[in-house]
Chains A and B, each alone.
Chain A
């Protein structure tokens, strides 16, 4: 049972490049989330999907888009990467909103 799987684990982008972070869960969870974690800032919610077919903005959505592809998969897209988006990105899922959230191992993204 893999839980929450994120790909890639590491990525270096040049300013202006685009990329998609992939997340998949195999726990039949309804809700999925994308967070970013920065030193001194803690975890901040970028976007979430309370259930399949819905997505909503979190605290820091600017510069990002998301797609809930199906119940298992929730992707995060950076259309034009900026150095301010250098961070560790975590995907998480839960059976329902606010119940126990399981986190992936993170994607370390550097934008140069």
Chain B
């Protein structure tokens, strides 16, 4: 079993929809959880960063971490065509010196 599992999609939604993106993980030592957005032929850019459990909101984006279920989610409200990209989850254990473990990414398409 991979340490981080992420459904690759593709996921297609109409503009204005609420999008839910998810990752599961197996390593209970993971403490740092991140979501990156990657546009085609570009480098990833950090969207959300969470330490340990809980929710974090930033504009239309909400990140949730459920450590008891080893499950993290990213919600996008009022999705826009400009949100069309690949979304990567990433995580690392406390004390890690830099080795982020990435999911394979979910490709999202928001149709006008």
The answer to whether B44 touches A90, judged by C-beta atoms less than 8 angstroms apart, is yes
Number of interface residues of B (CB under 8 A): 22
Q: Which of A42, A56, A106 contacts B43 (CB 8 A)?
A: A106
Number of A-B contacts (CB under 8 A): 58
B88-A104 in contact (CB<8A): no
Shortest CB-to-CB span from B7 to chain A, Å, is 13
| A69 vs B92: C-alpha distance when bound (angstroms) | 27
Interface string of A54-74 (1 = CB under 8 A from B): 001011000000000000000
A19 at the interface (CB under 8 A from B): no
A103→B99 contact, CB < 8 A: no
Across the interface, do A45 and B99 meet the contact criterion of CB distance under 8 Å?
yes
Is B100 among interface residues, defined by CB-CB distance under 8 A?
yes
CA distance A45 to B8 in the complex (A): 20
Report whether B98 and A98 are in contact in the complex, using a CB–CB cutoff of 8 Å.
Answer: yes
C-alpha gap A93/B93 in the complex (Å): 19
Q: Hey, which chain B residues are within 8 Å of A101, CB to CB?
A: 46, 100
In this assembly, does B61 line the interface, its C-beta being within 8 Å of a C-beta of chain A? Answer: no
A31 vs B6: C-alpha distance when bound (angstroms): 27
Q: In the docked arrangement, what's the CA distance between A41 and B100, Å? A: 14
A-B contact pairs, 18 of them (CB 8 A): A40-B104, A42-B88, A42-B103, A43-B88, A43-B90, A43-B100, A43-B102, A45-B100, A48-B99, A58-B98, A90-B44, A98-B92, A98-B96, A99-B49, A100-B49, A103-B44, A103-B45, A106-B42
